[in-house]
Each structure stands twice: as structure tokens, then as C-alpha cells.
Amino acid sequence: MEAGCKKFDFVKAMEAGNKDGFKKACMTVREDGAYIEAGENDNLIVQKLAANKNAYGIFGFSFLEENTDKIQGSEIEGHGPTFENIASGAYTVSRPLYFYAKKAHVDVIPGIREYLAEFSSEKAWGKDGYLAERGMIPMPDAERKQFAAVAKGLTVMTGEGLH
């Protein structure tokens, strides 16, 4: 929320002059009933959206696809939530799925190496993989190849990126 807040100059200016106001405006979630936490229960979110035509919800693309008879996706910067727009990055509010493994644990905890190999296999995350059947949108071929090599090689990640 903070990064979005800082896009507004008048709010960004508060950070220096009114730290409490900035924190309240940019780092808290409203508690007046306008925001409702539904947790990770996507079915509950769909029900609430179907009941209130003025409401917005955030959940996975697969739930939108499964419920287009009840709800519709929102356009962001002129792009709707379609498979193609999410895959290309044009639907800017979509996000990638990350998971991490601690390299020191790979040969100590059984199954980690196999887990990484499975998730980065074409049968899992490929265009026709079982994760796509569950709603995950595959990365472009070159990216999948790059990150499969990262997983296989146990490339250490740092704050600056892959090394």
C-alpha cells in the first residue's frame, strides 16, 4: 500500500512532515466496514461480490473464470483480466507465484530437490501442465527455461536478484 500511496505527491509529502498521518493513510486498512477481510476463502469473496454490485474483490484468475456468470473482472489501465493480458504482464495487478527453498536444507531435508524439480517441470508449469489446469498462467517459454535452470542449479538469490 505504501508504494501506491507514494504515487500521490500530497501523500508522499506527508512522509517527511506528518509521519503519523502518512502511516495512517498509507499503512493501515480501513475498519469502517467498507473493507471486509475474507481471508483466502475465494468462494466467500465471490458470494459477497455477487450480492453487492458495487463491491470489488481480489482473488485468483481461476475463480473469475469459474464465476463469470456471477461476477466480472475489472479493467486496469485499459486491460481486462484475460489469460493473454496476465501472461504478458499487461494486466498490471496480477502477480507471479514465488516459492523459495533454503539451499542449506536441500540435501538435509528429504524431498526438497524433488519438490523443486517437480514444480519447475513442463508437466507442472508448462503451457499444458497441471498447474495451468488449476488456473496458474504459465510464464513465456524463455522465462520458464531460465527459472527451471535456476531451480535445478540451486542459484542463490540476493536482494539484487539472481547470482
Which mean pLDDT values do the consecutive 10-residue runs of the chain (163 residues) have? 83 85 83 75 86 86 89 94 90 85 92 94 94 87 91 80 48
pLDDT at 60: 83
CA distance 130 to 8: 41
- Rounded to two decimals, what is the model's pTM? 0.65
pLDDT at 163: 43
- Closest to 143 in 3D by CA, of 89, 101, 104, 100: 89
* Cβ atoms of residues 45 and 38 within 8 Å: yes
Residue 1, judged by CB atoms within 10 A of its CB (0-12, 13-18, 19+), counts as: exposed
pLDDT at 160: 54
Q: 162 φ, ψ to 5°?
A: -80, 140
pLDDT at 159: 59
Q: Which helix (H) or strand (E) holds 119?
A: helix 112-119
**Which domains occur in the chain, in start order?**
1-31 (no CATH), 36-95 (3.40.190.10), 103-162 (no CATH)
